[in-house]
Amino acid sequence: MIRLERALRAWGTADFMGTLKLEIEQLGAEQLPLYQGLTSSNHVADEAISVMIHSVTELEKVIRVKAGIFYKGMLVGCSCADDPGPPGESNEYCEVQLDIDKASAAAEVVLVVDE
């Protein structure tokens, strides 16, 4: 379970957005749905991510955050000599929704899929 304690402590202050952004950026691919958000690659690169907060809404029990995540992906293949795929990394982007429990700082994260 993800816990965003620093962001919750900063809720209601001018530091909230910056604290939230930094705390999300410190999470790893196993804590965020980055693999599900891949579009041009099949593996998440082990590099830092960048977060852009789109909206924050206070609900009765949670703080709902919609954020965009910029990260790198890689095409991992067979590494054959005649493999036509270019090696290296590609830029990836996905949007997530985080519901931060106002009592415990536990956060549920889901990938936002356009329909």
Backbone angles phi, psi at 109, to 5 degrees: -120, 130
Looking at residue 12, which CATH number applies to its domain?
3.10.450
Q: Write down the pLDDT at residue 21.
A: 97
DSSP structure string for 5-51: HHHHHHTTSTTHHHHHHHHHHTS-TTTTTTTTT-SS-SEE-SS--EE
Top pLDDT among 80 and 36 is at: 36
**pLDDT beyond 90 at 28:** no
Counting the structural domains of the chain, the total is 1
Which residues is 91 bridged to in the sheet? 72
Q: Which range of residues forms the domain containing residue 65? A: 2-78+85-112
* The pLDDT of residue 114: 78
Predicted confidence at residue 1, as pLDDT, reads 85
In tens, the pLDDT along 43-95 reads 999 999 999 999 999 999 999 999 999 999 998 875 566 555 556 789 999 99
pTM: 0.87
More confident residue, 114 or 16: 16
pLDDT in tens, 91-107: 999 999 999 999 999 99
pLDDT digits (tens, 9 = 90+) for 2-22: 999 999 999 999 999 999 999
Rounded to an integer, what is the distance from CA 42 to the centroid of its chain?
Answer: 16
